[in-house]
Copies of this chain bind each other. A is one copy, B any other.
Amino acid sequence: MIHQQYFLGIDGGGTKCKARLESQNGELLGEGLSGPANPAQSADIAFNSIIDAAAQAVASANLPTETIKTLHVCLGLAGVNIPAYRGLAEAWKLPFANTLLTTDLHIACTGAHGGQEGAIMITGTGSSAFASVDNVHTIMGGHGFPLGDKASGAWLGWRALSATLESMDNLMPSTPLTDAVCEQLQACKSVDIVAKALHFRSSDYAVLAPLVVAQAKQNESLATSIIEDGATYLTAVLLRLSELNPQRLTMIGGLASYWSDHLPDNIQRLLSPALCSPEYGAVALARQAFKEA
């Protein structure tokens, strides 16, 4: 009787949870997609999303439901770099055979480098950096908006909106970018913008990021200065990452290709393309942790 091993990778974030199920020899068997899985937001919701995504992956592979008990799993979750939230996830009674718990950053890095070690700079709604070199993990950034997340979509939008309000106070001239912000928000008075922005979250600011990118393409001066500040920050982080001597260095996330084109040549030369997805990285880590000899 052939003893088949199954490896499941989970990528759990603030809005969704993805699962990828592979066979012993690396064949993709099934996938799953469910809701939020960030224990820093809600440990109960995260637990349910993980079970849901895993069950979907087993079902889509046409495997019996009880296969879930035999899975070798790597969970890559947002928030678990913070000890208190890691503790919540460690306390879960999960139904799998084995579970490796790590950060969303670790699986994204492993995926970007095709299952190997390396370093990544992520720029999407937020920003953060991660390196795995000789099994030593380094996290940079990821401080959350407004404390950090420089060069992220939220940061770009926040810079644009903040400047728009200063222009309305006549502390600086209005510009094509500040005009575009007013148009997108359908607000032409400072008080209307403040009212709209009163409960803005990172994702609301990030909606304005494409305006900065579009204006910078036209060489608009305000947009250009924001992009220059972001590029300066990314350059500093990427240089720090490269000093750790990672095998590969890659930018990922929604803004990665934009930023890659706007960094100094000597920095661009350090970068390699992303190879695979975070959930692929999670499967690779599950395989490294639990594969039978």
Contact = CB atoms under 8 A, between A and B. Distances in A.
A197 B40 CA distance: 13
A82 B195 contact: yes
A147 B141 contact: no
A171 interface: yes
Given A83-B195, A191-B139, A195-B82, A240 B170 contact: yes
A: interface residue count bin: 35 or more
Contacts of A40: 198
A162 to B, nearest CB: 5
A162 B158 CA distance: 15
B169 A140 contact: yes
Interface in A149-189: 158, 161-162, 165-166, 169-171
B162 A147 contact: yes
A12 B166 CA distance: 26
Contacts of A254: none
A190 interface: yes
A81 interface: yes
A195 B193 CA distance: 30
A47 B226 CA distance: 43
A166 B151 CA distance: 14
A198 B144 contact: yes
Nearest to A161: B147
Nearest to A82: B195
A190 B200 CA distance: 25
A169 B82 contact: no
A83 to B, nearest CB: 7
A278 to B, nearest CB: 20
Given A146-B146, A148-B162, A169 B195 contact: no
B195 A84 contact: yes
A195 B170 CA distance: 37
